[in-house]
Amino acid sequence: MALGIFSGLLPILPFQTALAVALALFFKSSKITAAIGTWISNPLNWYFLYYYTYKVGAFALGISGKEALFSKLMTSLRHADGPLAIAERIFQAGTTVVAAFVTGGLVLGIVFAVPGYFLFLYIFGSIASWREIRRKDRQERRHDR
C-alpha cells in the first residue's frame, strides 16, 4: 500500500499505477495493494494534490517567478482535463516547473508513504488476526458437534 501511496503522490498521472506495480515487483510485495494505494490520487483531489506538490517542490528548490505557468496548469485541473492533458501541460511548463513537481511529489510521497506503511501494516495485521480467531472458532464448533 505504501508503494502505491508513494507513486500516487508523484505527478506522473497516467503512469502512477504502472510505477506502483513495478515497485511492488521489485520489492516482492503485493501488486494489487500497490495499485490500490495509487487511488490516493483521484479526480476529486487532483487540484489540491498538484497544488501542494508544486508548492512543496518550489519551496524545496527555492523556485519563484513561475506562477503564470503554474496558474495555467491549475486552470487545466479545475476544468477537469484528462490525465494526459494535465501531464502534457506540466511538461510544457518547462524543466523548472517539472523539477518542482517531481521534487514535491518525492517529498510528499515519502512523508505520506512511511506512516501509511505502518498504518496499513497494523490494519492488515488486525484483519489477519481477526480471520485467524474466526477460523479457530469455527473449528472448535465443528469439534464440539
The stretches in the chain having pLDDT less than 70 are 65-69, 80-81, 145
pTM for this prediction: 0.79
Sign, CA torsion 89/93/94/98: negative
pLDDT for residue 29: 93
Nearest to 116 by CA among 6, 17, 11: 6
pLDDT for residue 66: 63
pLDDT for residue 80: 64
**In the structure grid, which three cell numbers stand for residue 6, read together?**
508513494
**In the structure grid, which three cell numbers stand for residue 127, read together?**
484483519
Task: For residue range 59-90, list pLDDT tens digits in order.
Answer: 999 887 666 667 777 777 777 667 777 777 77
pLDDT for residue 65: 61
Rounded Cα gap, residues 114 and 6, in angstroms: 9
Nearest to 19 by CA among 3, 32, 30: 3
pLDDT for residue 123: 95
pLDDT for residue 68: 67
